Amino acid sequence: MESEPETAANDTVEAAVASEQQAPSTRRAQRQQAIEPTARAESAEPEGAGERTPALRFCSRFYALGDKLAVLSEAPHDGSQHDEAEATRLLAAILRALEVPAARLAAATDVLNWPLTPEQPAAETGAEHASRALGGFLTQTWEQHGYANLLVFSSQLQELLPGYDRSEGASDYQPNARNYRITSTQSLAAMCAVPELKREVWDHLQPLRERLK
């Protein structure tokens, strides 16, 4: 049986996404695409070449929320302003459920777009290069903000994160040689598209919730 605080927190997150159940079918069909990896392989075929080179694309927004917590949120490249605003409201609701002030969500502290430039060669946009870039980005943000926990909302960035072990499939762990713990869960866009995911996400957040008390 859930405790009263946990029930209230669940209700907070549920209320933030309940409106999705009443959205028009066309809107829900569009949002359904958000469940698919937003860090996705796209084909780049050089002229005269018979083979396709996978190119990885993603946009990650970093929010510094104090010395205890920072957030890294993957956003769809083709998301509308309405989708972005809805994701921000959902993030604020989740932070309230974790009893974390959400006043600093007005704008992302830092943004990592991948590829870094439109001219970046397709051969240098794959997962290995992206993982190194993401690792360097997180090193920089930690040196600037010194957070103890990093909460990641993402569709597929999990495998690019420092210290991720695919064999273990961990969603809450401390990477080697890092001074913070990572909690990785579903993207905000996916939760907006499928409200049922909020229960899974809330389960993922329980170890982090205990550390933030």
* pLDDT tens-digit map of 40-81: 444 344 444 444 445 688 999 999 998 999 999 998 766 667
Q: Measured in whole angstroms, how far is the alpha carbon of residue 179 from the centre of its chain?
A: 20
Q: Which CATH architecture has domain 4-38+53-212?
A: 3-Layer(aba) Sandwich (3.40)
The predicted structure's pLDDT at residue 132: 94
Q: Mean pLDDT throughout 28-34? A: 44
Helix pair angle (197-204, 4-17), 10° resolution: 140
> Does an H or E element contain 57, and which?
strand 53-64
Question: Which pLDDT does position 152 carry in this prediction?
Answer: 96
Cβ-count burial 95-109 (b if 16+ within 10 Å, e if not)? bebbebebeebeebe
Assess whether pLDDT exceeds 90 at residue 187. yes
Q: Is the pLDDT of residue 156 over 90?
A: no
Q: How far apart are the first and last CA of the chain?
A: 21
Whole-prediction pTM value? 0.75
Q: Which two tokens stand for residue 26?
A: 């066309």
